[in-house]
Structures are given as C-alpha cells and as structure tokens.
Structure 1
Amino acid sequence: MKKVKWKKLLMLQLAALIFYFIGVNTVSAHAYITNSTPNENEILETAPKNVYIEFNEKIQTGFTILNVLNSSGERVDQKNVKIDPKTEKSMTVDLQPDLPNDIYTVEWRVVSADGHSVSGMIPFSIGELPEGTAFPTQQENGNMFTFISTMINKGFLYIGFSLYMGILLFYLIWYKGKKLSNSLIKRTQTVSITAIALLAISIISSIFIQTQSYAGGGLLASLSISNLLETLKSTKEGTIWILQTILLVILYLSHLYIWKMETYTDRKRLTIPGLAFLGIMLSKAFLGHPSSSPYETVAILFDFTHLVAASIWLGGMLVILLFLREGIFASEGEGHDLYWSSMERYSLWALFSVAALCISGAINASLLIPDFHSLVSTTYGKVLLIKVALLVFMLIFGAYHLVSRLLLKKKEFYKVSIKIEITLGILVLLVTSVFTQIQTPTLPIDLPFYEEAELGYNENISLSITPKKTGVQNQYEVFVFDNSRNPIDPIEQITIGLINGENETSFPLTKEKEGHYFAENLLLNQPGNLEVEIHVLTDELESLDYSFKMQVR
C-alpha cells in the first residue's frame, strides 16, 4: 500500500513540477497585431474612413469579426470586412462617414495560420477624451475548457500514433518469429484496436473542439450546424479534418480483414493501412506551429520527421514490451530470444530516430525561436527545455537497458528502470500535448514611435514616426503646444536630425497647420538605436531643442 502511494505521489510531484515551469496560460495568442490604423488608445482629430489591422502571420477567412462600436454600443462600421488576398495578413472595414467625436472600440477575432482563434479590442477616440473618462481595457479571453480538451485530444492522438507505428514496424521489420502465439495475437488485436480507437476519438472530436474555439461560445457553439459548416468550408483545419476522416475510415476497414484473418505478418496486407496511417500523420504536420513559420514548407517537413521519429522511438519500445513481456526477465528460452532479437533490431531504428528527433527538433526550434533569450525566458522555450530534458533522461535509460543485458539477474532493479523509462515517455507526450498550444516566441512588436517632452515652462513637444520601419516610407510629425495643449505659433522652422552611430542626416519639416509640422517619404535606412534631435526655431529666433531616443529593427 505504501509503495502504491509513493508512486502516485511521485507522479503528482512530476506533473506539478512540469506545470510550475510551464506556467500554463490559457490565453495563448498565436497571431498578434503588428500595425493598426487607428492605433490602440489613439486620439484622432478627424474621423478615419476605415479601420485597418495587420498581423504577424497569415489569417484564415473563417470566423472573422471586425466590428466598430461607439460608446453606446452601436455599430458604426459598414459591415464589409475584407482580408487582403495578396498577403492574407491584414483586414479592413469601412466606417460610416462623418463620425462624431466619441470613444470607439474595434472588436476583432480571427483564426490564425496555425489554427488558433485569437481576439482582442482596439479603443480609440475622435476628439479629446472627456474629463474623467478613460479608454476601455483589454479583457482576458482564455478558455480553460478548450485548453484542457485540446491537450487531452492531442495526448490521445500522439499515443495512437506511437502505438500504431510500433505495431506496423514490429510486424514489418522487428519480429522474426516463425509463428504467432495465441497470446501475441490477442495482444496485437487489443493494442491495434486501442491505437485506432484513440486516433478515431482524437480526429472526430477535434472538429468540435476547433469549432468551439473559433466560434467563441460554449459547448453549444461546437454543436451548431452552421458553425461546423463554417469550420469545414472556411478553415484549413476543416479541410484537413475531412482528409483525416477519410484516411481513418480506410485504416479501419483495411484492419477489419486483418483482425478477422489474423494476417499480421503478411506485409502486403499492411500496405494500405500503413499508407493511410502515414497520410494521417503527414496531414497533422500541416496544422499547428509550422503553419506560422516564415519557412512553412521546411517547418512542415521537419515537423513530420519529428512526429515519425518520436512515434518510432516511443511506439517501438511500448509495443515490444507489451507483446513480448515474458522475455524481458527470462534468462533463456524462446521468449528471451524473441524479445532480445526484436529489441536489437529496434535499437538501430531507435538510434536513427533519436538522431532525427534531435536534428528536426533543433531546426524547428531555430525557425520558431528568434533568440537565446526567448529560449530561456518564454513559456514556449521553457516547455521545450523540459521536453528536451525528459528525452535525455529517457535516452539514458534506453542506453542502459541495451548495455546491461548482463545484469538481467537483477530483475527488480531492471523492472523499475523500464517502468521509469515508460513513465518518461508518457510525460514527453503530456508535455508535447501542452507544447502545441503555447504561443511561439516573438520579437517585441515594433509599434510606431510616439513620445512627448517638455521644452520649457509652458512649451511642450511631441514626436510621431509612423510606421517606424526600415526599407519603407515613414512619416514624421511634430506638434508644439502649451500646457493646455493649445498649439504654439508662430514657429520659424523645425528641423529633425537622425543620428545612428557616425551617420547623421537632417531635414526640415513643413507646416501642416498651426502647431503641426510634418515630413514624409523619408527612409529609416539602418536599424539600431537612433537619436532623434528636434530643433525648434521660434519667430523670435529662440532655439528650443530636445533629443528623443528610439530603437529601429
């Protein structure tokens, strides 16, 4: 009794440790805004003609929402949301003409390229905020039910992949027995049924989980026929779900004959289910984080490689242990010979699988993690390090079991070490199921520059640089105002100087209206830490200077 309690306590401690380091947050936005017009909390002097939002990655057409509401909650947009067909990264909606001064809220929701539904709001105002009012703040939009159900769904999928991959290669390559015992036939049927059932549960339920996430409602939203149809017709996940369902049916039907005739060692009869199974795995690689990578094709290829390698390593170990468990502790006899001959053939595949795991994992990490700081400081990076650590420990135990055949007499210790290795494999699947839902690391968003400063007792200045990016045209705007935010005029001249190391350029601004000066069509040629010097010359030839600092990527 004490031993059972100790094992349960150990598992709980391991799970708690993993979730402590992960710091799971149900709000894991996988697409984020890089530019918008208006900006968040921007105060406009005149009404804009439309609202524009640009994202860091492609967005899908299904379940797109872009509503603009006034302070009374009435819609003031023209309900003509458009996604840019060229980039698929931005969307716009036209506004009603001549909107009055008020506080407005842009409510948006999109399905990102990696299949995650993200939403938010952008408040702005036309005219100054009335005294005592403030912009509305962002609300948390995480859904713990969706997070947990997706994690369980992915866990079923990965276990199903591992078990079926193990069965496939066991009979195609690793097992060389002349005949199948009744116990091996029963175990094969049980494990293959379990693997296909897990795949079926995961694939079938995924359409409802995805729809609930996209629609943003409760459980009833996932059962709505209209929502389900929109998922199938307007999202990549819906298209792949149809393909996976067809392949699942082929896999199941082809196995009905194999189960009935017990022809597990007939390689020809494993061709159709094997191809259907690999098709399901390949289609899975088109979902999730690889879709958000700037090198999508490469990321998909290595994600598929990673998935196959992991399934071979973990699935092969599980299936051989389940099918030939009598030979694990036998010192001689047929069971001993079958187990160790199968394990030796598997070990070579395991070696190449580990190599493929390391290479594909490193490449995918380099595509998704921008720098070392992101690896050690972000949730995604922490989970990746936990996964790597578990795999290293699992590899150590696997190497020990191969090298220590001469220690078979120490059955109790060997039995414990095998259980630890299997436990580590299950923990790897758990971490991986969480891993797929976490925001990939990103560099800080480069928003347009805006800053205010005091020039004197009753003189202030603001500098705006939009969009503050290299290689594109930027607009510079300076506003000179008093403590009551009234424009200061007349001004003889305003000059901007850009200093980047030894490089320095300067140019004058032209007057747009009283107190407002601007320049456009000028390039920020080099990234880095820039110093922006503002030189104001009044009509009385008084010089007012201020230096702003900003970073350009």
Structure 2
Amino acid sequence: MAMVLLFLLIAAAASLWVSPPQAFAQLYSGMEETNFDPHKQVGHDHSDGTQSEAGITVSQALFYTVRAIYYAAFMFAAGLMLWSITLPKDAESGLSKLVQKWSIYSLRGLLLAVLLFVFVHASQLMKGYDGGNSNEWVRLLTETSTGQSWLALIVLSLLGFTVLRLHDSFKMIWALLLIAVESFNGHVNALPSNTFAIVFDFIHIVCSALWAGGLMLLLLLWRTDRKEAGRFAERFTKVAWLTIVLLTISGIGMTALLLPSWRYLFYTSWGFMLLAKSGLVLIVACVGFLLHRRAKQQKLPSGKLLKLDGLLMALVLILASIFTYVSPVPDTEPLSYHKMGETLHYTVIITPNGPGPNDVKLKIWLPKTLGSPASVQFLLRTPDNPKKADINVPVRGASGENYLAFPGFLETDYESDKFELPTRGAWEAELIITDQTGAVTKQLIPFRND
C-alpha cells in the first residue's frame, strides 16, 4: 500500500512539470493531419483552447495521474502474463500459486485502470463539444483510431480472465495483442511514415513489460519466499540485461525518428523527461548488475537493492506514461514578417522557427520596370554571439501563392532547403537583394525562435 501511495504522489507531482502548451500529443500541431486528433476524424476541426497559459489545470493533473496508474497496471498485467509462460508448471509450487494469484489481481487492476483512463481521456477530448450527446461518444469510440484502440483495450482486459485458464500460446498472443494496441496509440503514430517507429515502440513496450513484470514478481517473492526469490533472481537478471539492451536500441531508434533534431532534447519537456528516464535506466542497469552478481554467487537478493530497483521502476513508468502523451516538437510559432516600402515590398516566413531544422520562404515585390531580382541572399546571425560567423541560407526560385498583388510591382518567390538554427533566443535575419541595375538593398529582420 505504501508503494501504491508513493506511486500516486510521484505521478501527481510529475504531471505538474509538464508545460501546458506541450501537453496532449494527440492535439499538437507539430505534425500535420495525424491520427491523434479524434475530433478531426469525427468531423470536428477546432483547435484546443482548453490549455491555460498560467499553468497546468487540475483536470490535466488528473489526466496524467490516471495515465500513470493505467500505464503501471498495463505493464504489470502484460509482464506477469509473459513471465507466467516461462515458469515451471508445478501447480503446487509456491511460485505457481503466487503467479496465478497476482495475475488475477493484475487483470482486475488493468480492467479498472483502462475504464478509468478511457473515461477521463474521453471526457477531456469531448470538452467544448456536445458531450451530453451519446451519439458523439459512440462516434468517438467507433469512428476514430484512438477510440477503436480504447475499445480493443477494454475487450482484451476482459478476455484476460479467460486467457489465464488457456494454453500458454494464448497467453502470449493476448499479451502481445495488448502491447500492440498500446504501441498503435502512442505519439509515434503521428509520424507520416510510422511503420518502423511502431515496430520500435512495440519492442520497447515488450521489453518494458518483461522488466516491470519480472521485477514485480521478484519483489513479491522476496516478501513470501526468500529461497524462491533467489532462484528466480538469477533467471530475471539475465532477462533484465537483455531487455535493457533492447530498450536502449529501440529507444534510440524511436527518438531518431521522432525528433527532427537532437537539439530538441534540451529545449522541450519531452526531451528533459527522456534524458531523466535515460539516467534512471542507467542507474537501473547498475543495480541490475549488482543483483546479477549476487545471483551468480548463489546469494539471496539484497532487500535494499530490490527496493531501490522497485522505486526506480516506479519513476521510470511514471515518466514514460507522461512523456508518451507530450509533444516532442517544441511549442514555437512560425515567423511571418511583411514590410512595405516605396520601391520594395517583401515577406519572410521561417517555419517552424525553432532550434533545429527550419526552412524559409521569401516573397519579394520590385517595380515592374526593374523586373525580378538579379540575386537574393539570406543571412542569419545571433546578437548573443556576434563573433560567430553568419549562417548563409541558400535560396532558389519557387512558385509561391500569389495571395497579394500590388499595382506596378512584380512578385518573385524563393524558398530554401532545411537549415539549422543551433540555439534558441534572439536572432537577426539579413535580406540582401540585388536588382537588375546592380543596386543592392539590405533589410534587417530581428526575431526570436523560443
């Protein structure tokens, strides 16, 4: 009970760390037209206006707390089911009885957690819409990928009680199906080409479930049968090492696919939580090494090390449950700057205007008597580091939209390939235009990318 209360307190505190503009990956705009926004799929097309600039709301804190509870219940249920396949089938052994008993408990906890999570999350999504209309709830659950995944979770949670009585092959299928549903419901599903990301996520969750379920089983054995705990510890620590290796590989793969730039690790709540989780996993690996060494020496596991491992597991699961629903893309606004002059009009658009990869679009209007520019240069520099060389962004001709027309002026459009803004903060763009007569015009555009 103490561990459960500690888990809830940490989950609530961790949820307060998340900045509201970056919360709810399903609704973030860093990637266009994703499957995350159920309202777009059921015919709604409104931006999320529920986020408070002053801080995280009580409902958001509740959401992340419920999400953490669901994620822990999910990992324990899937993990125990996978471990039950590998254990001896002696029905009279203490280990078999313990696994059978806690498998039922974990399934009950999973069912309650899934129902609570679906209700809280659906209520959040239905705010501002006709939430009292049962038809809208039915459409949310049946006509969206998110709702369909929730229904699958509920059905699988109910089937779990029957699967416990079936052959091991059905148990494995059940656990892998449960994990597959969760891997299709994460932020990797927002990627335009998400096949590899979903595979990485699936491997990541399988390994997480094996580690969490195995550690939970080891902690339970430590309380009931120390000798059995010692025998299981040797088997668990071997598997734990393999899972940590696969967790690292799959985690790096997902991060590389999700983040346009590694710099996002240091500019977003998602990046900070990922770094914190990585640090905790590193400590877990060290604790696992010490436990494995004791197991090889035929010694019983250290109670202090097991408790430390359990605490680390709780922290890792809480962080994972939160940052899987936080946008990895920084919350920035594209720069759109337009200036009118007597002999020159221009528009500069930088997207997404954040640290890392960006692209620029230019619209330049010169008098028709001068025609199109002979050449255009676009330079970037940061006032915070004046000694650093300017960033020269090559631009080429483009066919832009002619949404503005000025009598007597000719519009010419330009665009760039991806270029890097290495830091966040104050920047200055310099637009250098050379016309057909050789006259040079320079324009300075100050802006910020944070």
TM tier, shorter chain?
Answer: 0.7 to 0.9
- Equivalent residue letter for 1:367: L
Q: 2:243 aligns with which of 353, 358, 361?
A: 353
- Is 2:120 the counterpart of 1:209? yes
CA–CA distance in structure 1, aligned partners of residues 245 and 83 of structure 2: 20
Distance 1:512 1:147, change over 3 A: closer
Deviations 1:389-410 (A, max 9, x none): 111112211211221355959x
1:547 and 2:404 equivalent? no
Pair 167,214 (structure 1): closer, same or farther in 2 beyond 3 Å:
closer
| Change in CA separation of 1:293 and 1:61 when aligned onto 2, cut-off 3 Å | closer
Residues 208-247 of structure 1: pairs in structure 2 closer than 5 A: 208-217=119-128, 224-247=133-156
**1:199 to 2:98 alignment:** no
TM-aligned CA deviation for residue 361 of structure 1: 0.6
Partner of 1:250: 159
1:366 paired to 2:278: no
* Count of matched residue positions in the alignment of Structure 1 and Structure 2: 412
Change (3 A) 1:505 1:441: closer
Deviation at 1:192, TM superposition (A): 1.5
What are the within-5 Å matches in structure 2 for residues 320-469 of structure 1? 320-323=218-221, 325-328=223-226, 336=227, 338-405=228-295, 414-442=302-330, 446-447=334-335, 449-452=336-339, 461-464=344-347
Residue 300 of structure 1 deviates from its aligned partner by 0.9
| Aligned twin of 1:483 | none
Report the Cα distance in structure 2 between the residues aligned to 1:473 and 1:18, rounded to whole angstroms. Answer: 37
Deviation at residue 151 of structure 1 after TM alignment? 2.2
Contact 1:170–1:320 (Cα < 8 Å) also in 2? no
Q: Secondary structure at the match of 1:518?
A: strand
Deviations 1:121-144 (A, max 9, x none): xxxxxxxxxxxxxxxxx9749873
How far apart are residue 24 of structure 1 and its match? 4.1
Matches within 5 A, 1:47-196: 56-58=32-34, 62-64=38-40, 108-109=46-47, 118-119=48-49, 140=53, 144-173=57-86, 175-176=87-88, 178=90, 180-181=92-93, 184=95, 187-196=98-107
Query: What secondary structure sits across from 1:524 in the alignment?
Result: strand
Aligned to 1:289: 187
Q: Distance in 1 between matches of 2:292 and 2:83?
A: 18
TM-score if structure 2 supplies the norm length? 0.74
TM-score, normalised to structure 1, is 0.62
Describe the SS at the equivalent of 2:328. Answer: coil
Alpha-carbon separation, structure 1, partners of 2:28 and 2:75: 34
Q: Do 1:166 and 1:316's aligned partners in 2 also have CA atoms closer than 8 Å?
A: yes
1:365, CA displacement in angstroms? 1.0
Alignment counterpart, residue 23 of structure 2, candidates 25, 28, 48: 28
Kept in 1, the 8 Å contact 2:377–2:433? The answer is: no
If asked which structure has higher relative contact order (CA below 8 Å, sep 6+), I would say 2
Supply the AA of the counterpart residue of 1:58: T
**Pair 1:498-2:411 in alignment:** no
User: Given the superposition, is the C-alpha separation of residues 308 and 223 from structure 1 closer, same or farther in structure 2, using an over 3 Å criterion?
Assistant: farther
Structure in which a larger fraction of residues adopt helix? 2
CA separation in 2, counterparts of 1:506 and 1:184? 71
Write out the 4+ residue segments of structure 1 that deviate beyond 6 Å after TM superposition.
10-17, 466-469, 472-475, 502-507
Alpha-carbon distance, 1:61 to partner: 7.6
Higher-Rg structure is 1
Code of the residue aligned with 2:139 in structure 1: it is: E
Identify if the C-alpha distance between structure 1 residues 159 and 393 changes in structure 2 by more than 3 Å, giving closer, same or farther: same
Structure 1: which 5+ residue stretches go unaligned? 35-54, 66-80, 84-90, 92-107, 110-117, 121-137, 259-267, 329-335, 480-489
Tell me the percent identity: 19
Q: What is the Cα deviation at residue 27 of structure 1?
A: 5.2
Output one character per residue of 1:512-547: Cα deviation in whole Å (capped at 9) or x when no partner.
544x62325x5536555985434689xxx9x79443
2-side partners of 1:238 and 1:477: how far apart?
47
The question of whether the paired residues in 1 share the 8 Å contact of 2:12 and 2:61 is answered with: no
Q: Which amino acid aligns with 1:478?
A: W
**Shift of residue 64, structure 1, vs aligned partner:** 4.1
Greater percentage in strand = 1
Q: How far 1:276 sits from its partner (Å)?
A: 2.0
1:127 alignment counterpart: none
Structure 2 residues not aligned, in runs of 5+ = 353-358, 379-391, 421-428
Deviation at 1:426, TM superposition (A): 0.9
1:498 alignment partner, SS class:
strand
Q: After superposition, give the CA deviation of every residue in 1:8-46 in whole Å (9 maximum; x if it has no partner).
A: 9x99998799678x4543752545558xxxxxxxxxxxx
Pair 1:308-2:200 in alignment: no
